[in-house]
Chain A
Amino acid sequence: MKHIFYQRQIIEDLPPEAFMPDPEAHRRAEVISRPNINFWSDVWRRFRKNRVAMTGLVIIALLVLLCVFGPLLAPTSYEFTNMKAANLAPSGANWFGTDKLGRDLWARVWVGGRISLVVGVIGAVLPTIFGVIVGGVSGYFGGKLDMIIMRVIDIIMCIPSLIYIILIMLYLGTGILPIVLAISMTGWMGTARSIRALVMQLKVREFVLAARALGSSPMKIILRHLIPNCSGIIVVSLSLHIPSVIFQEAYLSFIGLGIQSPMTSWGQLAQIGGEVYRNYPYQLLIPSAVICLVMLAFNLFGDGLRDSLDPRLRD
């Protein structure tokens, strides 16, 4: 069949070689033209656009820097007592004032911050790791094992955590390690539950079937396939867990179960400040304000992280 064509516009001045075959063209057919973006750089791109969350991140970074370098700027060490300079209000020399033993509060706030942050991070990381493993195993194997693990978690969650935190601390004594241990033992159940739910969704996905068909062992599937695919949730729960641990530590110190003098933490500073609140309110207000700030910053950061990880918002 032959047709008579007419073209709407004809480009006249074309060289004859323009109509020569171009065998090179096929090489370009399988090239991916978009930039190579991996999962986390994509998350970071979205996170950066979230101003509130970025503010949280900046505050966290500033607080960490102050905890590391802040004490160097203080006139005296955090444990140096000077009864002649007790209960001084904030001034050019003592930026946050001094406490009833004349110790510089600027130094004490940031040294206490080191303890609070370390307790917060370790006390959040340990139970998260434990919870992820328990949740992963429970979700992947299912059946009776899953039933038993979930009932145990239900039972533990029924008991108010304060009761056995106090029991543990009475047994192990006070100090950083007992605090971290006590807090860790209460924090893993929530993580285990959410990881279990996610793993149950993921394990019926075809890539898990593919791994099984390739002879991967269950442990390998959990560790290499399932948990990395939960990493978004894990990171978010971690970043929201840290402030609650910091708060728990502050709370324990506040009721006198935590860090003991001359070592300090934000909660303990608040507790001591609380005793002299009527006369020297700054001794309570400053550590309380720092606790509020760090809680706020971590929560903003965690919320922003969750938004940037949400696959529904991916474009």
Chain B
Amino acid sequence: MNERLLTVEDLRVSFDTYAGEVQAVRGVSFHLDRGETLAIVGESGSGKSVTVQTVMALNPMPPARIKSGSIVYKGRELVGLSDREMDAYRGKEFAMIFQDPMTSLNPTMKVGRQIAEGILMHEDISRQEAQERALNMLRMVGLPNPELNMVRFPHTYSGGMRQRIMIAIALACNPSILIADEPTTALDVTIQAQILELMNGLKAELGTGIILITHDLGVVARMADRIAVMYGGQIVECGSADEIFYDPLHPYTWGLLGSMPSTGVRREGKKLIAIPGTPPDLFAPPPGCAFAARCPHCMKICTQTPPEQSVTESGHYASCWLLDKRAPQVEPPEFDIRKEGGRDE
């Protein structure tokens, strides 16, 4: 355990558009160990998808552009590798599953063949062996009658089954890192529960490191070991799941947790803690803290100077001026989860 798989340092990615530069990712650092799940949480446009797509080298360049930073996988630097060099990693070392599996499945190829092709691309084995492996993968992701399913086409499946097939394809080469970009957003809750269970089971079995991108805090609570909260192209807070849920430091995290009514909490006619306003336009990011304009505790300095990271003894960190020793003490609002943490009703 605790083998470091991936380290991303100060990654900055921009998109060049007609109107100018959109700074989608503005200095993101994180790491991932073997067998752990890192959840990246944030609203749409916070840069979470762009971050992992950059790790996978999936962004077309141009318009995308890595301005600075490094991505180190098992001690090797990936920034600056050519597309062809990246092919050796994509699929073999990193695999990715998406929100809409249909966009990444080939509609004209039988699923067994699709899985086998993926294996053949990276491994020097016979077609026969690859077919065998594909069959095993289908069994592993819990498809009933895998032999029959080998010869079906993707469009004959429901959304949940397609996502299982995507996971089978992704894990066929036994990658070290699985990147899941909103894997269950398009699915119903009962199917979502099945897929999450499957991912957790496979993680335990194969020791894959998972980067999970989602905006659903319930999914995060179920899956994550560590959580990075992204806002405006930056990680504003990062810590273990318990630290983020029970001892959040950043006002944006407070807002996120407060805006979600927990199913375990009764309605008492009370309001949710909404975050007013809209996320910043990264076409012209604010000079100070990206969250300042929506923050209930905004200070003068917040709109002018970006905050420094403050780190606790356990490595839980947040970027917020409120954590500065000169700032006034602000108590986080009372969340129901904080009060009731771990208790059933």
Q: B292 to chain A: closest CB distance in Å?
A: 5
- Chain B contacts for A16, CB-based, 8 A: 326
Known interface pairs A9-B308, A19-B328. Does A30 touch B278 (Cβ–Cβ under 8 Å)?
yes
A1, B312: Cα distance in complex, Å: 12
Residue A4 at the chain B interface, CB threshold 8 Å: yes
Residue A159 at the chain B interface, CB threshold 8 Å: no
Q: Is B309 a contact partner of A7 (Cβ separation < 8 A)?
A: yes
Q: Is B283 a contact partner of A34 (Cβ separation < 8 A)?
A: yes
Q: Is A5 a contact partner of B328 (Cβ separation < 8 A)?
A: no
Known interface pairs A30-B277, A35-B19. Does A20 touch B309 (Cβ–Cβ under 8 Å)?
no
- Chain B contacts for A17, CB-based, 8 A: 300
- Chain B contacts for A25, CB-based, 8 A: 292-293, 295, 298, 302-303
- Chain B contacts for A19, CB-based, 8 A: 299-301, 321, 324, 326-328
Count B interface residues, CB 8 Å: 39
- Chain A contacts for B313, CB-based, 8 A: 3-4
Residue from the list B19, B293, B312 in contact with A5, Cβ < 8 A:
B312
- Chain A contacts for B278, CB-based, 8 A: 29-30
Known interface pairs A30-B277, A33-B284. Does A7 touch B298 (Cβ–Cβ under 8 Å)?
no
Q: B85 to chain A: closest CB distance in Å?
A: 28
The binding surface of chain B is classed by DSSP as loop
User: Digit string of A1-38 for contact with B (CB within 8 Å is 1, else 0)?
Assistant: 10111111111001011111111011011101111000
Residue from the list A9, A14, A33 in contact with B281, Cβ < 8 A:
A33
Q: B141 to chain A: closest CB distance in Å?
A: 33
Residue B43 at the chain A interface, CB threshold 8 Å: no
Residue A206 at the chain B interface, CB threshold 8 Å: no
Known interface pairs A26-B293, A29-B276, A34-B283. Does A21 touch B17 (Cβ–Cβ under 8 Å)?
no
Q: Is B308 a contact partner of A1 (Cβ separation < 8 A)?
A: no
Q: Is B302 a contact partner of A22 (Cβ separation < 8 A)?
A: yes
- Chain A contacts for B299, CB-based, 8 A: 18-22
Q: Is A22 a contact partner of B298 (Cβ separation < 8 A)?
A: yes
Q: B283 to chain A: closest CB distance in Å?
A: 6
- Chain A contacts for B312, CB-based, 8 A: 3-5
11 more contacts with CB within 8 A, not counting A3-B313, A4-B312, A26-B294, are: A7-B309, A7-B311, A18-B304, A19-B299, A22-B299, A22-B300, A22-B302, A25-B298, A26-B298, A32-B281, A315-B63
Give chain A's interface residues, CB within 8 Å of chain B. 1, 3-11, 14, 16-23, 25-26, 28-30, 32-35, 45, 315
A-B contact pairs, 14 of them (CB 8 A): A5-B311, A5-B323, A5-B325, A7-B309, A7-B324, A8-B311, A21-B297, A25-B295, A26-B277, A26-B294, A26-B298, A29-B294, A32-B281, A33-B283
